[in-house]
Structure 1
């Protein structure tokens, strides 16, 4: 649905985006991450027609970036900070944005949109009286005007309380399941891990990492980290593991409650358990510590 090839953007003498390439499949939730200044927003601005590329090319729904007016018929955009006309109600607001998008929308379709984002019952309420979370939902409804094939969501849950954030996350997953392609930015790494199918991370104008959540978690991992809870002498247990499995353990330490063990291979986990039990040490819990998106993002 989205194909990007060696996209670059230069402002005077500064190359902000230095040649990014990626693709997004139909119906995918694609997370686009990066620290402030990484070039993330500039890339999104090029894809949505706010600014033009200096070099490179992209296609959305098979249409070249050179025909941006045609592309805009198939995309919807919810910026992080949206302009809301507070004196209008939700119906008037969406009608106005439909006119700006030069698309015709029936009143019943507007009611359907508002119901889809969870604003049914608030259709005639002035937007100025909406809560922050309700405005976010209205922003998504605005992006959905004209039945787009791709929507760009910039920080869709930023500033929301947990209940409102959960509602929008569930909505994003549902829209994806219905075949809509969703390109979203977020600083909420837990949210990204929860709802994104694929993720790209930008650093210094380039994509440094890209893949599914599982692929990113496994990338660059040389050891298996396990945490063992026992009853008894933790120091003795750690020493026994170190002495008996020195060729299989990269690193080991303990506190008063757990043993933390870094293994070269996953196959050594059963050996750890057997060795402890044979030494008269009761194992009450063993967990394999998985990398989180936070670990991936910060290169841990």
Structure 2
């Protein structure tokens, strides 16, 4: 089931379209990553989905509700912006109660304490927010987004600026929320984080979505060649000539570099054949490694 459906969404400022017609879906309970370089149109798209700005063209639905009824959509979403407003003189309970009032949601202390427990702040309810660490403030921002039991939460760079331990804590929280049925739409510049916790991702370039899918799907689309590196003992040139002669229909490219053979293959099934050819020709193999495409390769590929 799709919780978010976006169809031909565009946004124009003066005479320039910064979002040029994006279409995508986000499934229920999915952790969906929305990536893009600065100026790609990513933030503007999120701002439209959360009601901060109005689309010039196109439409979207959240939990089956059209963007024509944005005030109704707001009842089903929670938002944590990259730069959140924290009222430093309040404690966590007062802070969440105040934001519930802003959202016109009735909330009792029991629910507030439950929210703080969800995000790992159960022992810091009475501490002034001004005395919170940066990581604790991020957790409070997630709790703030969870007010009203939304179907979808939008998290803008929730781990930016955090130390590794705090970032892992937030990532674990996000995975736990997803496992309980919450749909999470998240922007991030941390590519390793994306690879670790997201179900699917979309990459935006120049106002359009250039790539969308699971990480594995995007890696496969980026090219089917398999790169292997073989450390050998013996004559590099001789080893390369043996491979070229025996596997001319299977090899895209092969070259040597200081005792290593670098080989590009059409299919990974032919890796054992490379080993066999070298061994049959008296070439000693000390190490073989397969290079897989990283999330950076996916992000920066054209």
**2:244: which partner in 1?**
242
**1:150: which partner in 2?**
152
Task: Pick closer, same or farther for the CA change 1:257–1:167 going to 2, 3 Å.
Answer: farther
**1:75: which partner in 2?**
77
Greater mean alpha carbon deviation, residues 281-290 or residues 136-145:
281-290
Say whether 1:162 aligns with 2:164.
Answer: yes
Greater mean alpha carbon deviation, residues 177-186 or residues 253-262:
253-262
**1:199: which partner in 2?**
201
Decide whether the 8 Å contact of 2:222 with 2:298 is kept in 1. no
> What runs of 5+ residues in structure 1 fail to find an aligned partner?
none
Alpha-carbon distance between aligned partners in 2 of 1:125 and 1:231, rounded to the nearest angstrom: 65
**1:216: which partner in 2?**
218
Give how far 1:33 is off.
0.5
Alpha-carbon distance between aligned partners in 2 of 1:67 and 1:150, rounded to the nearest angstrom: 16
Cα deviation, 1:125-153, whole Å, max 9, x if unaligned, reads 11111111111111111101111110000
Task: Pick closer, same or farther for the CA change 1:100–1:222 going to 2, 3 Å.
Answer: same
**Number of residue pairs the alignment of both structures matches:** 300
Give how far 1:220 is off.
3.1
Work out which of the residue numbers 174, 178, 186 in structure 2 matches 1:172. Answer: 174
Cα deviation, 1:166-198, whole Å, max 9, x if unaligned, reads 111111111111110000000111111111111
SS in 1 for 2:167: helix
Work out which of the residue numbers 76, 93, 96 in structure 2 matches 1:94. Answer: 96
Cα deviation, 1:237-275, whole Å, max 9, x if unaligned, reads 334323332332111223335322101222221110111
Alpha-carbon distance between aligned partners in 2 of 1:9 and 1:101, rounded to the nearest angstrom: 26
Give how far 1:232 is off.
4.4
Work out which of the residue numbers 14, 27, 38 in structure 1 matches 2:29. Answer: 27
Alpha-carbon distance between aligned partners in 2 of 1:197 and 1:94, rounded to the nearest angstrom: 29
**2:282: which partner in 1?**
280
Decide whether the 8 Å contact of 2:77 with 2:153 is kept in 1. yes
